[in-house]
Amino acid sequence: MATTKIENTLKEVYGLVSHFIKMPETKMWVDYDKEADVLYINFKRPQKATDSEMLENGVLLRYKGTELVGITVLEASKR
* pLDDT, average across residues 21-45: 90
CA 62 to chain centre: 12
* pLDDT, average across residues 29-54: 91
Q: Greater confidence, 2 or 34?
A: 34
Quickly list DSSP for 36-69.
TTEEEEESSSS---SEEEE-TTSEEEEEETTEEE
Looking at residue 1, what is its pLDDT?
Answer: 57
* pLDDT, average across residues 49-70: 93
Predicted structure pTM score: 0.78
